[in-house]
Amino acid sequence: MKLSDLDIIVTAPPAPGWGGRYWILVKVTTDTGVTGWGECYASAVSPDAMKAVITDVFTRHMAGENPENIELMFRRAYSSGFTQRPDPTVIGAFSGLEIACWDILGKDRNRPVWALLGGRMNDRVRAYSYIYPLPHHALPAFWIDADMAAESALSLVEKGYTAVKFDPAGPYTIRGGHQPSLLDIDTSIAFCRAIRDAVGPRADLLFGTHGQFTTGGAIRMAKAIEPYNPLWFEEPVPPDNVASMAEVARATSITVSTGERLTTKAEFAAVLAAGAANILQPALGRSGGIWETRKIAAIAEAYNAQMAPHLYAGPIEWAANVHFAVSIPNILMAETIETHFHKALIKNTISVEDGYITAPTAPGLGIDVDEALARAHPYSDDGLHLEMQEAPIGYSAPNIFEGGAPVKSQT
């Protein structure tokens, strides 16, 4: 069995668009007719440019290869161009293609992917969700309104979720770390207080940031929210500054988490070795794929650290996250997005029940991709999947960060 054909679909989720402006799906077919699906979570270049990268990675390193030879193909891509270092674009392309290989192998052997990774360690995986606005909530006011956030959090807990994530600390900018404004600190305190009052001990609070603070600014924010006992303080400083993150981790009682922007074991191992984070959040469509992220989990296990795979993408990456999570001992939880489009694109073949995701049992990734639906929503805009704000933050009014580049309704 050899990899022979590649098709790439860039699909744009309709409004509200949680999960990003577009998802890059790859469909790989073998010479024996077995098809595998993957998803590339890489967006530093336009979708058209990314399609060219994916095609080049497949043609150069994978076409004609047995899909079993994942380690060999990874080393080819990792070493491409005499680099042999983490490259989020090249490895992002490879990651989605690698996920498709596992889907192929599982289908060929009539076994779920987790069965090929050492078997099922967990019958189900704890899910968590970002706090998104409810239909009656006004935008953009929702993003800085603690009462609306608490109402949304409570609705998730009533569905069975035992952890909710929110990031009221203001936007992230191209300028790197900044000191949070006092107004943004107050907003963050208000969110933590209101959500904790609403959900009580029924759910963990996951305080999200996106690397937007200086070391001192992150410590200042951590001290302000510590009384509400968040489970984690996510990526408090830019992800390339491991020493700074370690300094934050030493200064707060809140566990630091990171990983959505990191790729391969090389970057994650450096975080663990520095004591910079105790919860790792790889996005499998960027981190190197299922096998490489399985290695990251093994390294984390040796450091007594836990895994919480990140999701700000589509349901194919989510399916890969789930199989990965099912197979490892040090899983904490897995991020989940439950929009109608997420569910419809895989025909509800994997779902959340009472706050948990049951281990899939169907072959491969265990999903049934609605290819026609994916093609019916092509991406036609010129924005990237996610983008940073160019202007600096302000200090005279709360800074509104509209969570995750929501798609505007066309009606």
The domain spanning residue 287 has which CATH number? 3.20.20.120
pLDDT average, residue stretch 44-51: 96
Residue 408 binned pLDDT confidence (cut-offs 50, 70, 90):
low
Residue 294 belongs to what domain range?
115-365
Residue 411 binned pLDDT confidence (cut-offs 50, 70, 90):
very low
Count of the separate structural domains present in the chain: 1
149 occurs within a structural domain: yes
192 occurs within a structural domain: yes
Q: Give tens-digit pLDDT for 216-272.
A: 999 999 999 999 999 999 999 999 999 999 999 999 999 999 999 999 999 999 999
pLDDT average, residue stretch 154-170: 96
91 occurs within a structural domain: no
Q: Give tens-digit pLDDT for 329-372.
A: 999 999 999 999 999 999 999 999 999 999 999 999 999 999 99
Average pLDDT value for the chain: 96
Furthest-apart CA atoms within the chain: distance in Å: 63
275 occurs within a structural domain: yes
344 occurs within a structural domain: yes
Residue 32 binned pLDDT confidence (cut-offs 50, 70, 90):
very high
31 occurs within a structural domain: no
253 occurs within a structural domain: yes
341 occurs within a structural domain: yes
